[in-house]
Amino acid sequence: MQGSWEVLFHTDAAPDQYTVLETNLTQSGTQLSADTANGLVFQAQGTIPWVMLLHVSQLGGKCGVGSADQVTFDATLTNQQPVAQSLSFTLTENGPSGSAVITASATTEGTSTLDGTYTLPAACGFPAEQGTFQGFKDSAKFSSVDTYSGILQGNPAVVHFASGSAGYGLSAAGTYNGAPFALSGSTTGLSLTLTGTVSGQAVTWFGLYDSTYNNFRIYDPNANLLGDLR
């Protein structure tokens, strides 16, 4: 199960509210984990549980402000082999407002999907909740030969994304309103974070990649949608 994952937590109390975990899992025997550098969460709204069709409402979890919170993931499998089995895990979030811990149990076929239930005690001013979740494993590797274009903040953009030769490093280069730019960052699950300068302005881009349709949705740090790249 080691690799990039996306997990959508769906609370029973609000059918259109989701907490989404993006994570790069490391496996050692029956243990799965992700440290703060390889996990992030954001809040989303929508009626269809597919992340590219959800509206990102906040970067960070219930205890976070923007993307300031930090999350860790710890799990135990019943079997080391890629077969149908059970999985239990905790997802711990530490943010400016305090800490929150999701406790969950799931079933998995051992390679690419998760399905289960979770509980979250009251934390950071939010009431306790429970619900269901679905997890999906997918590739987050990009080649610089692929070209993506679209309108970002009202201006035309052409971008090439390139994954690092090892790990989860990422770079992006292209033109924005005709002017060249270069950004650097990393991928976490099926999300990406890039920083640098575009048109003389320091920027941070938060992106979500849809591997089915091979496109990106780009946000700023305040979860404002900048546009799509296809």
Selection from 145, 149, 142, 206 nearest residue 177 by Cα: 149
| Range 146-159 average pLDDT | 97
Dist. CA 4–CA 26, nearest whole Å: 9
For 75-124, what is each residue's pLDDT tens digit?
A: 999 887 788 899 999 999 999 999 999 999 999 987 899 999 999 999 99
The model carries a pTM of 0.94
Q: At 121, phi and psi to the nearest 5?
A: -60, 160
